[in-house]
Amino acid sequence: MRWAGNFTWVCVVAAARRAGAKPQGACHATDSGQRHDPERKHRALVPGLVLALIASIVAAPAVAQTEAEVRIGPADAPALIVRGTTDADIFLPVLRAFLATEPDLAIRYEQWGSNDLFARATEACAGGAEAADLLVSSAVDSVVRLANDGCAQAHVSEETATLPAGQLWRDEVFGITQEPAVMVVNRAAVPDAPVTRFDLIDMLRPGGARESLRVATYDIEESGLGYLFAFMDSLQATTFGSLIEAFDRSGAVATCCSAELIDGVIEGRWDLAYNVLGSYAEARAAESDEIAIVAPEDYTLMLSRAAFIPAGAARPEAAGRLVDFMLSGQGRAVLRANHLIPRIDGLGVEDDVSIRPIPLTPVLLLTTDAAKRRLFIELWRNTFPGDRAAGP
C-alpha cells in the first residue's frame, strides 16, 4: 500500500476486502455514500494514517451518525448548522472564507454519509429531528427528492438569478459546484489513454489493443454517486450497453469510493478507473504524476453539488447568505482553489457539447425510484458478479 504525498484522509477498505469481507471501514471519499449497505457500521474521519487505522479498528456500532463535526467562528456567536457530504477539509476553506464576511456568525459543519444525510433530512422534514440551516450534497437526486417532497424553502437573490436552468430548481435547489465524472489512467500502464468511451470499448474488445486492461469503477450498490453516474450514463447514450458488456468481458472490478479507485490506479492495482469524481481526481493529480485525468470527449457528465435550505431551518437568512457567497465570484474562486469547480481547459475538454450537466430537475426522481433502482442493479449484477466485486 502506497500513500500519495501528504494526502490527509485515507481509505481503509482495501485491507478488509482482501480478507473476503464486505467493505467495512472508513472511506474519506464520502461522496460515494454507501446508501444501501446495511452492514456499514461506522465512518470515521480522522487526520493521519495512524488515527485512521485506529478508527477502523475501534469501529463502534452507531446509527445515522455524523462522520465529522467541526465548529468554526467565534465561540460566543450563534452557529449556523451546515450538513454536507463533502469532505470537511475540502469544504471548510469555503466556510471560513464566508465567515470572514460574517464576523458575528459561527458555523457548525457536520459531515454525513449521503444515505444518513438523506434519512436525517427526511426525519427533520417530518418534524422528528433538528433541521439543519443548509444542506450541501453530491447526492443530487436525494436533494431533488427532498425538495420535491416539500422539505426545502425558497431563496431568491441576485446570485441565484445567475444560475442556469439546470442548476436551479424551484428557487430551492442550487447547483454550487461543477465536478466532472472522469477516467483516471495510470500513465505508465496505459501510455495511449482512451480519449472517448468508444476508445475504451475498442481497447477491451477481444483481440483488442488492451484486452487485459484492468478497469475499476464504482460499485453502484454501495455508492450512491456511482449509481447516479451509471444511471446517467444509461440515459445519455447507447454506449452504456456496450460499455458494461466490455467491462463484463474484461473482468472489470466494481468497488467503493473515489479515493480507493484513485489510490488503486496510483498503486498500479488497476490501470484505469471509470467515472471517478473529477474534483478528487484533480486534487490527487496535483500531487501525483503517475495518473492522468481523462474527461471523455464523447461526453462528460458534470455533477453540480446541490445545496438547499431545509423548510425547518432556524437561520434561513444566514443560510441564504452562505448560498449567495458560494455563488459569488469570491466564493467560486475558493471553490475553484479546492477543485470543486474544475479548470475545464486543464481537463482537455473544450467543446461545450460534450459537457452533459446532470440537471437539477424532477427527472432525477427517476433515480430514486425503488423499482427502477432494483431493475438497474439487477442489470449491473449480471455484469459484475458478486465474486468479482470484492476486488482483484
Partner 1 sequence: MAEASAVPRRRRSITTRLALTLAAIFVGGGTAIAIAALAYGRTAADRSFDRLLIGAAEQIAEAVAVRGGRLIVDIPASAFELLSLAADDRIVYAVTAPDGALVTGYPDLPRAETQGIYDGEITGADARFVRIDRLLAERALTGRVTVVVGQTTQARTELAREIAGRAVLLSGIAGLFMAGLALVAVRRALAPLDRLARHLSTREAHDLRPVPVEVPREIGVLVDTLDRFMARVERQVSATQALLGDAPHQLRTPIAAIRAHAELAREERDPEKLRAMVTRIHQRALNLGRLADQMLSRAMIIHRADAVPRAPVDLREVAMRAVDEVDHLGGGAGVGLHLPEDAVRVAGDALSLGEAVKNLLANALRYGTAPVAVSVSGAEGRARIEVLDAGPGIPEGQWVDAMSRFAGRSGVSAESAGLGLSIVASVAEAHEGTLRFSHDGVRFHATLEMPMLGAGA
Tell me phi and psi for residue 125, to 5 degrees: -60, -35
In 3D space, the residue among 179, 256, 245, 175 whose CA is nearest the CA of residue 216 turns out to be: 256
Query: Least CB distance from residue 149 to partner 1, whole Å?
Result: 7
Q: Which is nearer to partner 1, 28 or 356 (CB)?
A: 356
- The piece of 60-68, 142-150, 282-290, 312-320 that touches partner 1 (CB under 8 A) is 142-150
Query: Nearest to residue 259, comparing CAs of 36, 392, 87?
Result: 87
> Please, which of residues 207-266 interact with partner 1 by CB under 8 A?
235
Question: Helix (H, G, I), strand (E, B), or coil: what is residue 294?
Answer: strand
Q: Which is nearer to partner 1, 125 or 273 (CB)?
A: 125
Between the alpha carbon of residue 196 and those of residues 107, 294, 295, the distances in Å are 42, 9, 8
Residues in contact with partner 1, shown as a per-residue x/- string from 366 to 385 under the rule CB under 8 A: x--xxxx--x----------
123 binds partner 1 (CB under 8 A): no
Q: Which of 47, 48, 78, 150 binds partner 1 (CB under 8 A)?
A: 150
Q: What is the DSSP string of 89-142?
A: HHHHHHHHHHHTT-TT-EEEEEE--HHHHHHHHHHHHTTSSPPPSEEEES-HHH
Contacts of partner 1 in 338-367 (CB under 8 A): 361-363, 365-366
Residues in the chain, total: 392
Backbone angles phi, psi at 291, to 5 degrees: -115, 150
Between 21 and 375, CB nearer to partner 1: 375
Quote the least distance from Cβ 370 to partner 1, whole Å.
5
Binding residue count for partner 1, defined by CB under 8 A: 19
Which residues, other chains included, contact 370 with Cβ-Cβ below 8 Å and sequence gap of 6+?
Answer: none
Task: Give min distance, CB of 366 to partner 1, in A.
Answer: 5
Q: CA 292, CA 190: separation in Å to the nearest integer?
A: 10
Residue 7 CA to residue 260 CA, distance in Å, equals: 13
Window 156-185: residues binding partner 1 (CB under 8 A):
165, 169-171
Nearer to partner 1, 13 or 173 (CB): 173
| Piece of the chain touching partner 1 by CB under 8 A; list 6-14, 93-101, 141-149, 246-254 | 141-149
The least CB distance from residue 131 to partner 1, in Å, is 15
Cell of 237: 447514450
Q: Per CB under 8 A, does 148 bind partner 1? A: yes
Do β-strands 355-357 and 253-255 pair in parallel, antiparallel, or remain unpaired?
Answer: unpaired
> Which C-beta is closer to partner 1: that of 63 or that of 371?
371
**Distance separating alpha carbons of residues 41 and 382, to the nearest angstrom:** 27
Distance CA 218, CA 244 (A): 12
Residue 216 pairs in a beta bridge with: 253, 273
Strand partners, 215: 272
**134 and 319 Cβ atoms separated by less than 8 Å:** yes
CB of 235 to partner 1, least distance (A): 5
Choose the stretch contacting partner 1; rule: CB under 8 A; options: 147-155, 245-253, 285-293, 328-336: 147-155
CB of 194 to partner 1, least distance (A): 27
Please, what is the minimum distance in Å from the beta carbon of residue 237 to partner 1?
A: 13
Q: Which CB, 287 or 369, lies closer to partner 1?
A: 369
Nearer to partner 1, 60 or 371 (CB): 371
Judged by beta carbon, residue 4 or residue 237, the one nearer partner 1 is 237
Q: Contact positions toward partner 1, by CB under 8 A?
A: 147-150, 165, 169-171, 235, 361-363, 365-366, 369-372, 375
